[in-house]
Structure 1
Protein backbone atom coordinates (compact mmCIF):
# COMPACT_ATOMS: atom_id res chain seq x y z
CA UNK A 1 0.00 0.00 0.00
CA UNK A 2 1.19 3.54 -0.74
CA UNK A 3 -0.26 6.60 1.01
CA UNK A 4 -0.41 9.97 -0.71
CA UNK A 5 -1.49 13.26 0.89
CA UNK A 6 -2.51 16.01 -1.51
CA UNK A 7 -1.01 19.07 0.18
CA UNK A 8 -3.05 21.37 -2.08
CA UNK A 9 -6.29 19.89 -0.71
CA UNK A 10 -5.36 19.26 2.95
CA UNK A 11 -6.90 21.76 5.38
CA UNK A 12 -5.09 20.48 8.47
CA UNK A 13 -8.14 19.08 10.25
CA UNK A 14 -5.93 16.41 11.84
CA UNK A 15 -8.48 13.61 11.66
CA UNK A 16 -5.91 11.29 10.10
CA UNK A 17 -3.46 11.88 12.96
CA UNK A 18 -6.22 11.17 15.47
CA UNK A 19 -7.28 7.96 13.70
CA UNK A 20 -3.81 6.56 12.97
CA UNK A 21 -1.20 8.39 15.08
CA UNK A 22 1.42 5.77 14.28
CA UNK A 23 1.34 6.78 10.60
CA UNK A 24 0.16 10.41 10.36
CA UNK A 25 1.21 13.61 12.09
CA UNK A 26 0.95 17.32 11.37
CA UNK A 27 3.82 19.49 10.17
CA UNK A 28 4.81 22.86 11.64
CA UNK A 29 2.15 24.56 9.50
CA UNK A 30 -0.57 22.22 10.79
CA UNK A 31 -0.97 20.18 7.62
CA UNK A 32 -1.04 16.40 7.58
CA UNK A 33 2.09 14.50 6.79
CA UNK A 34 3.39 10.96 7.13
CA UNK A 35 5.78 9.93 9.83
CA UNK A 36 9.20 8.96 8.43
CA UNK A 37 9.21 5.40 7.14
CA UNK A 38 5.41 5.09 7.22
CA UNK A 39 4.72 5.79 3.53
CA UNK A 40 3.35 2.24 3.24
CA UNK A 41 1.15 2.46 6.33
CA UNK A 42 3.42 0.12 8.29
CA UNK A 43 0.61 -2.42 8.56
CA UNK A 44 -1.49 -0.10 10.71
CA UNK A 45 -5.10 -1.29 10.48
CA UNK A 46 -6.37 2.26 11.12
CA UNK A 47 -4.92 3.74 7.91
CA UNK A 48 -8.12 3.11 5.95
CA UNK A 49 -10.15 4.74 8.74
CA UNK A 50 -7.81 7.75 8.62
CA UNK A 51 -8.40 8.06 4.87
CA UNK A 52 -12.16 7.85 5.40
CA UNK A 53 -12.05 10.41 8.21
CA UNK A 54 -10.40 13.12 6.10
CA UNK A 55 -13.11 15.76 5.59
CA UNK A 56 -11.69 16.91 2.23
CA UNK A 57 -10.50 13.54 0.84
CA UNK A 58 -6.89 14.71 0.70
CA UNK A 59 -5.50 11.22 1.40
CA UNK A 60 -5.44 8.41 -1.11
CA UNK A 61 -4.23 4.82 -1.00
CA UNK A 62 -2.84 2.83 -3.89
CA UNK A 63 -1.56 -0.68 -4.21
CA UNK A 64 1.85 -1.19 -5.78
CA UNK A 65 1.87 -2.74 -9.24
CA UNK A 66 3.12 -6.25 -9.45
Structure 2
Protein backbone atom coordinates (compact mmCIF):
# COMPACT_ATOMS: atom_id res chain seq x y z
CA UNK A 1 0.00 0.00 0.00
CA UNK A 2 1.17 3.48 -0.88
CA UNK A 3 -0.50 6.69 0.26
CA UNK A 4 -0.46 10.10 -1.40
CA UNK A 5 -2.22 13.25 -0.30
CA UNK A 6 -3.31 16.37 -2.10
CA UNK A 7 -2.73 19.20 0.35
CA UNK A 8 -4.55 21.63 -1.93
CA UNK A 9 -7.76 19.60 -1.59
CA UNK A 10 -7.47 19.09 2.18
CA UNK A 11 -10.15 20.97 4.13
CA UNK A 12 -8.59 20.23 7.56
CA UNK A 13 -11.55 18.21 8.84
CA UNK A 14 -9.24 15.86 10.76
CA UNK A 15 -11.17 12.67 10.05
CA UNK A 16 -8.00 11.00 8.77
CA UNK A 17 -6.19 11.63 12.04
CA UNK A 18 -9.07 10.19 14.04
CA UNK A 19 -9.22 7.09 11.81
CA UNK A 20 -5.48 6.46 11.42
CA UNK A 21 -3.36 8.47 13.88
CA UNK A 22 -0.28 6.35 13.13
CA UNK A 23 -0.42 7.36 9.46
CA UNK A 24 -1.79 10.92 9.47
CA UNK A 25 -1.37 14.08 11.51
CA UNK A 26 -2.33 17.73 11.03
CA UNK A 27 -0.23 20.86 10.86
CA UNK A 28 -0.65 23.02 13.94
CA UNK A 29 -1.02 26.30 12.07
CA UNK A 30 -3.78 25.43 9.58
CA UNK A 31 -4.88 21.82 10.21
CA UNK A 32 -3.79 20.55 6.79
CA UNK A 33 -3.04 16.83 6.71
CA UNK A 34 0.52 15.60 7.25
CA UNK A 35 1.45 12.16 5.99
CA UNK A 36 3.49 10.32 8.61
CA UNK A 37 3.89 7.05 6.72
CA UNK A 38 3.84 6.96 2.93
CA UNK A 39 3.91 3.16 3.04
CA UNK A 40 2.14 2.13 6.26
CA UNK A 41 2.57 -1.33 7.78
CA UNK A 42 -0.06 -3.93 7.00
CA UNK A 43 -1.48 -3.51 10.50
CA UNK A 44 -2.59 0.01 9.47
CA UNK A 45 -4.18 -0.89 6.12
CA UNK A 46 -7.76 -1.01 7.37
CA UNK A 47 -7.43 2.24 9.32
CA UNK A 48 -5.81 3.92 6.32
CA UNK A 49 -8.58 2.81 3.96
CA UNK A 50 -11.15 4.10 6.44
CA UNK A 51 -9.36 7.43 6.67
CA UNK A 52 -9.43 7.82 2.89
CA UNK A 53 -13.11 6.92 2.78
CA UNK A 54 -13.96 9.41 5.53
CA UNK A 55 -12.06 12.32 3.96
CA UNK A 56 -14.73 14.85 2.92
CA UNK A 57 -12.37 16.45 0.38
CA UNK A 58 -11.09 13.17 -1.14
CA UNK A 59 -7.55 14.39 -0.52
CA UNK A 60 -6.17 10.92 0.31
CA UNK A 61 -5.29 8.43 -2.42
CA UNK A 62 -4.63 4.81 -1.49
CA UNK A 63 -2.79 2.67 -4.02
CA UNK A 64 -2.90 -1.04 -3.29
- If the TM-score is normalised by the length of the shorter chain, which range does it land in? 0.7 to 0.9
* Structure 2 unmatched ranges of 5 or more: none
Structure 1 residue 25 and structure 2 residue 49: aligned? no
- Runs in 1 of length 4+ with deviation above 6 angstroms? none
RMSD of aligned Cα (Å)? 1.0
Q: Specify which structure has the higher proportion of helix.
A: 2
* Structure 1 unmatched ranges of 5 or more: none
Alignment length, in residue pairs? 61
The TM-score with structure 1 as length reference comes to 0.84
The TM-score with structure 2 as length reference comes to 0.86
3-state DSSP of counterpart to 2:3: strand
Structure with greater Cα Rg: 1
3-state DSSP of counterpart to 2:16: helix
| CA deviation after TM superposition for structure 1 residue 61, in Å | 1.0
Q: Distance in 1 between matches of 2:16 and 2:41?
A: 15
